[in-house]
Amino acid sequence: MCGIFACHKHPEVHKFKPQALQLAKAIRHRGPDWSGNVISNDTILTHERLSIVGIDSGAQPLVNKEQTLFLAVNGEIYNHRILRKQLKGEPKFKTHSDCEVILHLYPEHDIDTPKLLDGMFSFVLYDKEKDRTIAARDPIGITSFYQGWSSKTPDAVYFASELKCLHPVCDKIVSFPPGHIYDSATGKTTRYFQPTWWEPSRIPQSPVDYKKIRHTLEKAVRKRLMAEVPYGVLLSGGLDSSLIASIAARETAKAKANGRLATNGQALQHELVGIDDSDEYSTITALPELHSFSIGLPNSPDTVAAKKVADYLGTVHHEFNFTLQEGLDALRDVIYHLETYDVTTIRASTPMYLLSRKIKAKGVKMVLSGEGSDEIYGGYLYFHNAPSKEEFHAETIARVKNLHLADCLRANKSTSAWGVEARVPFLDKEFLEVSMNIDPAEKQINMAAGRIEKYILRKAFDTSDEPDVKPYLPDEILWRQKEQFSDGVGYGWIDVLKDTAASMVTDEQLANPKPEWGSDIPDTKEAYWYRLMFDEQFPQQCAPTVMRWTPKWSNQTDPSGRAIATHVAKYQNAV
């Protein structure tokens, strides 16, 4: 994950440059490997780089041969080799970076360029000849991206990977909408991502195809192994991360069996074919054994389950424990990096933030993670209460559309705080197209019929009727009940957050929220406490970028899965 800060049409861009470099420095944690900047006309692009692909030649901002196009990108373009083959003429590439292909696509495809990209990305491109800036964000918003304006420079527009770059100079800030592109020539931001499943009023009728689900997810994992640095997997022991780990372990084993592993005794890397005849592969490097990482309180549900999965898959497993006090001590920093005050996000992000630091210390720069599955398949326990398949489907679409304000934000910022990149195979465009077009009746939960949450995803990887196929996971993991990450790291974690908040916030404070909060009023002491810590670090213009979430179809307001009556270890039964 990298960091971007850019400004188009600054009236005194050269005088602004020192401040721009300081603002970019605020997100150097996202890109600790190199810093770059360029000024053209009255536009400045800055970039903080985390090198994953093209590590020796991909410094940014990228510039075309004619020095008329300038590009700063955060993210990965998984189909860059395929796109290179499709370009007209014989374009001259200056780097091995996956992102450079955008520079060559733009002259041919203009603002349709992001439609062609398969990956996670946010970018700012400046066209010197047209004095034009375009900016775009990936379809789901896996990479964080913001846009801002200042009343002091009314003709300028600003872009950044994080709020902390923008609020010192902008008095209006928005979260850049996923799947959209901004064009300074028109001043408009338009949606380029137009999948078949976008409108909730369209209820799909397609029956479930288990093999298609399996093969599409395997392909999604495979393309996300594009890297030139060691990678690993985040492993909570839940269904989603365990499936991703299982597929990644199989891909690593294939590479090992093909004899493409180096034997230098150091990081031991290999390169797996460029593009095969089906255009599926890109450059992959890996440790000869897959490394997995988990975190929790001692003997937490997740760490116990993760160890079982790691033993089954044969990964080199790293289990880390944290104390309740360590979690509490990290909260302020977590909120600084997350740039949110949403209760669910902060609860889950704190262990992920602590784990990412450990991963960085191990020399791993990229990890695969399991975000997105619960939104796609209705895996949260409150989906038990969905009144109809139509409402079930509408809620899955709403959750996927808002991932950039919730789980994608958590995964992106918790890891990038320590210079680690998280990739999320479940949010692959092709996998989404397959999964969101399944008749939602197939996704609905029916405990009486043995159909627990995410039944069809579990069934897609159930090989009990395929004797020649090694099971992807043990049955106790494949059919394990949903455990939200903030619960699974240890039930004491949420309990201590509530208890500490109760001692930090008085009843009088809760009853008298700050006037500037308007209608966005915390409804618990924990939420109030987080909002106070957010306000200490971010001014009011940042608050509209935050979404607070509570479950639907339920009278309870606590977002924890353990607060749902269908949880086998619900609060009143928890030890």
pLDDT band of 308, cuts 50, 70, 90:
very high
Q: Give the CA dihedral 339, 342, 347, 351, nearest 10 degrees.
A: -20
Is 103 marked within a binding site?
Answer: no
- Rounded CA-CA distance 119/208 in Å is 26
Q: Are 248 and 289 in contact (CB under 8 A)?
A: no
Which has the higher per-residue pLDDT, 464 or 266? 464
Determine the pLDDT at residue 481.
80
How many other CB atoms sit within 10 Å of the CB of residue 549?
14
Assigned CATH for 3-191:
3.60.20.10
Is 165 an annotated catalytic residue? Answer: no
pLDDT, tens digit, 9 for 90 and up, residues 88-100: 988 888 888 899 9
Banded model confidence at residue 54, pLDDT cuts 50, 70, 90: low
370 is in an annotated binding site: yes
Domain ranges of the chain: 3-191, 210-324+347-487
| pLDDT reported for residue 571 | 40
Looking at residue 549, its pLDDT comes to: 84
pLDDT band at 477 (very low <50, low <70, confident <90, very high): very high
The verdict on whether residue 179 carries a ligand-binding annotation is no
Burial (CB count within 10 angstroms: exposed 0-12, middle 13-18, buried 19+), residue 157? buried
Distance between CA atoms of residues 196 and 124, nearest Å: 27
Which has the minimum average pLDDT: 167-171, 449-453, 565-569? 565-569
Contact 454, 374 (CB under 8 A): yes
Span of 280-294, 330-344, 451-465, 539-553 with lowest mean pLDDT: 280-294
| pLDDT over 60 at 570, yes or no | no
Task: Kindly tell me if the per-residue pLDDT of 136 is higher than 70.
Answer: yes
pLDDT beyond 70 at 279: no
- Whether 259 has a pLDDT exceeding 90, the answer reads no
Name the class of domain 210-324+347-487.
Answer: alpha beta
Give the model confidence (pLDDT) of 328-375 as tens digits: 999 999 999 999 999 999 999 999 999 999 999 999 999 999 999 999
What is the mean predicted confidence (pLDDT) over 243-252?
94
Residue 269, pLDDT score = 34
Is pLDDT at 261 greater than 50 in this prediction?
no
The confidence score (pLDDT) of residue 343 equals: 96
Q: Which residues pair with 132 in a beta bridge?
A: 127
Q: Residues 426-432: what's their mean pLDDT?
A: 98
From 2, 99, 165, 170, active-site residue = 2
> Helix 343-361 and helix 491-504: axis angle, to 10°?
120
pLDDT of residue 562: 52
Looking at residue 574, what is its pLDDT? Answer: 36
Specify whether the CB–CB gap between 339 and 410 falls below 8 A. Answer: no
295 is in an annotated binding site: yes
pLDDT in tens, 188-228: 999 999 999 999 999 999 999 999 999 999 999 999 988 88
CA dihedral of 256, 230, 331, 563, whole degrees rounded to 10: -20
Return the percentage of the chain with pLDDT > 70, whole number: 89
Whether a cis peptide bond, with omega within 30° of 0, leads into 471 is: no
- Single pTM value for the model: 0.93
For 104, left (φ over 0), alpha (ψ -120 to 50), or beta?
alpha
Among 79-83, 262-266, 532-536, 571-575, the range with the most confident prediction by mean pLDDT is 532-536
What ranges make up the beta strands (E) of 68-185? 69-77, 119-127, 132-137, 146-150, 153-160, 172-175, 180-183
Instruction: Check whether 561 is labelled as a binding-site residue.
Output: no
Query: Across all residues in the chain, what is the average pLDDT?
Result: 90
H or E element, residue 396: helix 389-401
